[in-house]
Protein backbone atom coordinates (compact mmCIF):
# COMPACT_ATOMS: atom_id res chain seq x y z
CA UNK A 1 0.00 0.00 0.00
CA UNK A 2 1.48 3.34 -1.00
CA UNK A 3 1.73 6.22 1.46
CA UNK A 4 -0.77 8.25 -0.57
CA UNK A 5 -3.34 5.44 -0.59
CA UNK A 6 -2.87 4.84 3.12
CA UNK A 7 -3.38 8.53 3.93
CA UNK A 8 -6.55 8.51 1.83
CA UNK A 9 -7.98 5.55 3.76
CA UNK A 10 -6.92 7.09 7.09
CA UNK A 11 -8.73 10.32 6.22
CA UNK A 12 -11.84 8.39 5.22
CA UNK A 13 -11.64 6.39 8.45
CA UNK A 14 -11.38 9.61 10.47
CA UNK A 15 -14.20 11.54 8.81
CA UNK A 16 -16.62 8.62 8.83
CA UNK A 17 -15.93 8.31 12.56
CA UNK A 18 -16.64 12.03 13.04
CA UNK A 19 -19.97 11.74 11.18
CA UNK A 20 -21.07 8.73 13.20
CA UNK A 21 -19.72 9.88 16.57
CA UNK A 22 -22.59 12.01 17.92
CA UNK A 23 -25.55 9.64 17.33
CA UNK A 24 -23.51 6.59 18.38
CA UNK A 25 -22.29 8.32 21.53
CA UNK A 26 -25.84 9.36 22.43
CA UNK A 27 -27.28 5.89 21.79
CA UNK A 28 -24.39 4.30 23.70
CA UNK A 29 -24.88 6.42 26.82
CA UNK A 30 -28.67 6.03 26.78
CA UNK A 31 -28.29 2.29 26.17
CA UNK A 32 -26.21 1.97 29.34
CA UNK A 33 -28.90 3.83 31.29
CA UNK A 34 -31.65 1.62 29.85
CA UNK A 35 -29.77 -1.49 30.94
CA UNK A 36 -30.49 -0.40 34.53
CA UNK A 37 -33.91 1.13 33.89
CA UNK A 38 -35.75 -0.52 36.79
CA UNK A 39 -33.42 0.53 39.66
CA UNK A 40 -33.03 4.00 38.13
CA UNK A 41 -36.81 4.48 37.89
CA UNK A 42 -37.32 3.23 41.43
CA UNK A 43 -34.71 5.75 42.60
CA UNK A 44 -36.04 8.67 40.54
CA UNK A 45 -39.79 8.06 41.03
CA UNK A 46 -40.38 5.89 44.11
CA UNK A 47 -44.02 7.03 44.31
CA UNK A 48 -44.70 5.20 41.03
CA UNK A 49 -42.14 2.41 40.74
CA UNK A 50 -41.41 1.39 44.34
CA UNK A 51 -43.43 -1.72 45.19
CA UNK A 52 -43.96 -3.05 48.70
CA UNK A 53 -44.73 -6.75 49.09
CA UNK A 54 -47.94 -6.97 51.14
CA UNK A 55 -48.72 -10.64 50.72
CA UNK A 56 -49.10 -12.84 47.66
CA UNK A 57 -48.88 -11.15 44.26
CA UNK A 58 -52.05 -10.98 42.17
CA UNK A 59 -52.24 -13.09 39.04
CA UNK A 60 -51.89 -11.32 35.67
CA UNK A 61 -55.53 -12.13 34.87
CA UNK A 62 -56.63 -10.24 37.99
CA UNK A 63 -54.50 -7.24 37.03
CA UNK A 64 -55.97 -7.38 33.52
CA UNK A 65 -59.48 -7.25 34.99
CA UNK A 66 -58.52 -4.28 37.22
CA UNK A 67 -57.07 -2.38 34.26
CA UNK A 68 -60.09 -3.02 32.06
CA UNK A 69 -62.46 -2.07 34.87
CA UNK A 70 -60.62 1.18 35.60
CA UNK A 71 -60.22 2.15 31.91
CA UNK A 72 -62.95 0.37 29.91
CA UNK A 73 -62.53 2.53 26.79
CA UNK A 74 -58.74 2.43 26.65
CA UNK A 75 -56.64 0.40 24.24
CA UNK A 76 -53.94 -1.42 26.17
CA UNK A 77 -51.15 -1.50 23.61
CA UNK A 78 -48.66 -3.26 25.85
CA UNK A 79 -48.84 -4.48 29.44
CA UNK A 80 -45.43 -5.40 30.85
CA UNK A 81 -45.60 -8.07 33.55
CA UNK A 82 -42.92 -7.85 36.28
CA UNK A 83 -40.79 -10.86 37.11
CA UNK A 84 -41.68 -13.08 40.05
CA UNK A 85 -41.53 -12.23 42.90
CA UNK A 86 -42.44 -8.75 41.66
CA UNK A 87 -40.59 -5.69 42.90
CA UNK A 88 -41.74 -3.49 40.02
CA UNK A 89 -45.24 -2.45 38.89
CA UNK A 90 -47.10 -3.57 35.80
CA UNK A 91 -46.31 -0.92 33.16
CA UNK A 92 -48.97 -0.22 30.56
CA UNK A 93 -48.80 1.80 27.34
CA UNK A 94 -52.37 2.82 26.60
CA UNK A 95 -54.47 5.25 24.59
CA UNK A 96 -58.09 6.41 24.61
CA UNK A 97 -60.31 8.79 22.63
CA UNK A 98 -59.78 12.41 23.63
CA UNK A 99 -60.65 15.93 22.63
CA UNK A 100 -57.79 16.01 20.10
CA UNK A 101 -57.84 12.50 18.72
CA UNK A 102 -56.38 9.60 20.64
CA UNK A 103 -54.53 10.51 23.80
CA UNK A 104 -51.62 8.35 24.86
CA UNK A 105 -50.73 7.75 28.48
CA UNK A 106 -49.13 5.24 30.82
CA UNK A 107 -50.70 3.17 33.57
CA UNK A 108 -48.98 1.54 36.53
CA UNK A 109 -50.60 -1.30 38.47
CA UNK A 110 -49.33 -2.47 41.86
CA UNK A 111 -48.82 -6.26 41.60
CA UNK A 112 -49.93 -6.80 45.23
CA UNK A 113 -52.84 -4.39 45.71
CA UNK A 114 -53.97 -3.93 42.11
CA UNK A 115 -54.02 -0.14 42.55
CA UNK A 116 -53.83 1.60 39.16
CA UNK A 117 -52.12 4.96 38.61
CA UNK A 118 -52.11 7.05 35.44
CA UNK A 119 -49.47 9.36 34.06
CA UNK A 120 -50.01 11.41 30.91
CA UNK A 121 -46.54 12.91 30.58
CA UNK A 122 -43.45 10.84 29.85
CA UNK A 123 -41.15 10.05 32.73
CA UNK A 124 -37.38 10.64 32.63
CA UNK A 125 -36.54 7.13 31.48
CA UNK A 126 -39.22 7.22 28.76
CA UNK A 127 -37.45 10.32 27.43
CA UNK A 128 -34.14 8.44 27.59
CA UNK A 129 -35.72 5.54 25.69
CA UNK A 130 -37.04 7.89 23.00
CA UNK A 131 -33.59 9.43 22.61
CA UNK A 132 -32.05 5.98 22.37
CA UNK A 133 -34.52 4.78 19.73
CA UNK A 134 -34.66 7.76 17.39
CA UNK A 135 -32.95 10.78 19.02
CA UNK A 136 -36.55 12.12 19.50
CA UNK A 137 -36.79 12.73 15.72
CA UNK A 138 -39.25 9.95 14.96
CA UNK A 139 -38.65 7.78 11.92
CA UNK A 140 -36.04 10.19 10.57
CA UNK A 141 -34.07 9.74 13.79
CA UNK A 142 -34.27 5.95 13.45
CA UNK A 143 -32.78 6.21 9.97
CA UNK A 144 -30.08 8.55 11.28
CA UNK A 145 -29.06 6.11 14.01
CA UNK A 146 -29.23 3.19 11.58
CA UNK A 147 -27.09 5.10 9.08
CA UNK A 148 -24.53 5.74 11.81
CA UNK A 149 -24.51 2.01 12.56
CA UNK A 150 -23.78 1.28 8.90
CA UNK A 151 -20.96 3.83 9.04
CA UNK A 152 -19.63 2.04 12.14
CA UNK A 153 -19.42 -1.18 10.15
CA UNK A 154 -17.53 0.63 7.36
CA UNK A 155 -15.21 2.29 9.91
CA UNK A 156 -14.42 -1.10 11.45
CA UNK A 157 -13.61 -2.67 8.07
CA UNK A 158 -11.35 0.23 7.10
CA UNK A 159 -9.64 0.09 10.50
CA UNK A 160 -8.81 -3.60 10.08
CA UNK A 161 -7.58 -2.88 6.55
CA UNK A 162 -5.24 -0.16 7.84
CA UNK A 163 -4.00 -2.31 10.72
CA UNK A 164 -3.30 -5.45 8.72
CA UNK A 165 0.07 -4.37 7.20
CA UNK A 166 1.19 -3.29 10.71
CA UNK A 167 -0.15 -6.33 12.55
CA UNK A 168 3.23 -7.73 13.57
CA UNK A 169 4.20 -6.88 17.17
CA UNK A 170 1.26 -4.50 17.64
CA UNK A 171 0.88 -5.34 21.34
CA UNK A 172 4.64 -5.12 21.96
CA UNK A 173 4.78 -1.67 20.38
CA UNK A 174 1.77 -0.59 22.43
CA UNK A 175 3.42 -1.66 25.71
CA UNK A 176 6.99 -0.57 25.04
CA UNK A 177 6.47 2.64 23.10
CA UNK A 178 3.21 3.65 24.74
CA UNK A 179 2.16 4.92 21.34
CA UNK A 180 -1.41 6.24 21.11
CA UNK A 181 -1.92 4.81 17.63
CA UNK A 182 -1.06 1.30 18.78
CA UNK A 183 -3.38 1.69 21.77
CA UNK A 184 -6.09 2.79 19.33
CA UNK A 185 -5.53 -0.25 17.10
CA UNK A 186 -5.48 -2.80 19.94
CA UNK A 187 -8.54 -1.30 21.62
CA UNK A 188 -10.38 -1.24 18.30
CA UNK A 189 -9.60 -4.90 17.66
CA UNK A 190 -10.78 -5.90 21.15
CA UNK A 191 -14.14 -4.13 20.88
CA UNK A 192 -14.66 -4.88 17.18
CA UNK A 193 -16.88 -8.00 17.69
CA UNK A 194 -19.14 -6.16 20.14
CA UNK A 195 -19.38 -3.04 17.98
CA UNK A 196 -20.14 -5.10 14.87
CA UNK A 197 -22.89 -7.01 16.72
CA UNK A 198 -24.43 -3.79 18.06
CA UNK A 199 -24.31 -2.16 14.62
CA UNK A 200 -25.82 -5.16 12.82
CA UNK A 201 -28.63 -5.62 15.33
CA UNK A 202 -29.39 -1.89 15.24
CA UNK A 203 -29.74 -1.96 11.47
CA UNK A 204 -31.88 -5.11 11.72
CA UNK A 205 -34.28 -3.46 14.18
CA UNK A 206 -34.73 -0.46 11.91
CA UNK A 207 -35.15 -2.40 8.66
CA UNK A 208 -36.65 -5.56 10.17
CA UNK A 209 -39.25 -5.99 7.40
CA UNK A 210 -36.48 -6.23 4.83
CA UNK A 211 -33.71 -7.86 6.87
CA UNK A 212 -35.61 -10.57 8.79
CA UNK A 213 -36.97 -12.36 5.67
CA UNK A 214 -33.46 -12.19 4.17
CA UNK A 215 -31.98 -13.80 7.30
CA UNK A 216 -34.61 -16.55 7.24
CA UNK A 217 -33.77 -17.24 3.59
CA UNK A 218 -29.99 -17.23 4.13
CA UNK A 219 -30.11 -19.50 7.20
CA UNK A 220 -32.89 -21.68 5.76
CA UNK A 221 -34.78 -21.27 9.04
CA UNK A 222 -38.54 -21.73 9.46
CA UNK A 223 -40.28 -18.39 9.72
CA UNK A 224 -42.24 -17.37 12.79
CA UNK A 225 -45.90 -18.37 12.44
CA UNK A 226 -48.36 -15.54 12.04
CA UNK A 227 -51.05 -15.15 14.72
CA UNK A 228 -54.23 -16.96 13.67
CA UNK A 229 -57.22 -14.93 12.59
CA UNK A 230 -60.32 -15.72 14.58
CA UNK A 231 -63.78 -15.57 13.08
CA UNK A 232 -66.46 -15.23 15.73
CA UNK A 233 -69.50 -17.39 15.29
CA UNK A 234 -72.33 -17.29 17.80
CA UNK A 235 -70.10 -17.13 20.87
CA UNK A 236 -68.91 -13.85 22.36
CA UNK A 237 -65.18 -13.17 22.39
CA UNK A 238 -63.26 -13.67 25.62
CA UNK A 239 -62.39 -10.56 27.56
CA UNK A 240 -58.72 -9.75 28.12
CA UNK A 241 -58.87 -11.06 31.70
CA UNK A 242 -60.52 -14.28 30.54
CA UNK A 243 -57.93 -14.76 27.81
CA UNK A 244 -55.05 -14.32 30.28
CA UNK A 245 -56.78 -16.62 32.75
CA UNK A 246 -57.14 -19.28 30.04
CA UNK A 247 -53.38 -19.14 29.44
CA UNK A 248 -52.73 -19.40 33.18
CA UNK A 249 -54.86 -22.56 33.36
CA UNK A 250 -53.40 -24.06 30.17
CA UNK A 251 -49.76 -23.34 31.05
CA UNK A 252 -49.55 -23.11 34.85
CA UNK A 253 -45.72 -23.27 34.89
CA UNK A 254 -45.25 -20.57 32.25
CA UNK A 255 -44.28 -17.00 33.10
CA UNK A 256 -46.42 -14.41 31.30
CA UNK A 257 -44.13 -11.52 30.43
CA UNK A 258 -46.53 -9.21 28.57
CA UNK A 259 -50.01 -9.00 27.08
CA UNK A 260 -52.12 -6.52 25.16
CA UNK A 261 -55.72 -5.90 24.24
CA UNK A 262 -55.90 -3.97 20.99
CA UNK A 263 -59.33 -2.73 20.04
CA UNK A 264 -60.73 -4.12 16.79
CA UNK A 265 -58.05 -6.85 16.76
CA UNK A 266 -58.93 -10.47 16.24
CA UNK A 267 -57.37 -11.66 19.48
CA UNK A 268 -55.44 -10.59 22.53
CA UNK A 269 -51.67 -10.99 22.35
CA UNK A 270 -50.04 -12.78 25.28
CA UNK A 271 -46.28 -13.28 25.58
CA UNK A 272 -44.90 -16.07 27.76
What average pLDDT does the segment 124-131 reach? 89
Of the two residues 256 and 171, the one the predictor is more confident about is: 256
What average pLDDT does the segment 102-114 reach? 91
Under 8 Å between Cβ of 239 and 68: yes
Neighbours of 111 (CB within 10 A): 25
Of the two residues 251 and 222, the one the predictor is more confident about is: 251
Cβ within 8 Å of residue 92, ≥6 positions away: 67, 76, 78, 79, 80, 106, 107, 108, 109
Cα gap 238→64, rounded to integer Å? 12
Instruction: Please say if the pLDDT value at position 91 is more than 90.
Output: yes
In percent, the amount of the chain with pLDDT more than 70 equals: 90
pLDDT of residue 196: 86
Q: How far is CA 91 from CA 107, 144, 235, 243, 257, in A?
A: 6, 29, 31, 19, 11
Q: Where are the beta strands (DSSP E) in the chain?
A: 75-80, 90-98, 101-109, 116-119, 258-261, 269-271
Q: How far is CA 9 from CA 4, 14, 149, 154, 167, in A?
A: 9, 9, 19, 11, 17
Q: What average pLDDT does the structure give for the chain?
A: 84
Of the two residues 155 and 236, the one the predictor is more confident about is: 155
Neighbours of 266 (CB within 10 A): 12
- N residues, the chain: 272
What confidence tens digit (pLDDT) does each residue in 8-38 have?
A: 888 888 888 888 888 889 998 999 999 999 8
pLDDT of residue 159: 87
What average pLDDT does the segment 233-259 reach? 83
Under 8 Å between Cβ of 240 and 72: no
Amino acid sequence: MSARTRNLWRSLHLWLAVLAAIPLLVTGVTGVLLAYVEPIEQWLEPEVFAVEATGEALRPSVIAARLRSAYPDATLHHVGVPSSPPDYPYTVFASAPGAEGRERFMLFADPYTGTVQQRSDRGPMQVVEAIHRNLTFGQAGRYWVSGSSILLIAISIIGVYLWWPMRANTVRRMVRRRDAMNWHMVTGLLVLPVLALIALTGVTLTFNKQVIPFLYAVTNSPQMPEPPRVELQNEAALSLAEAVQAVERKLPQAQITAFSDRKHADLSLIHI
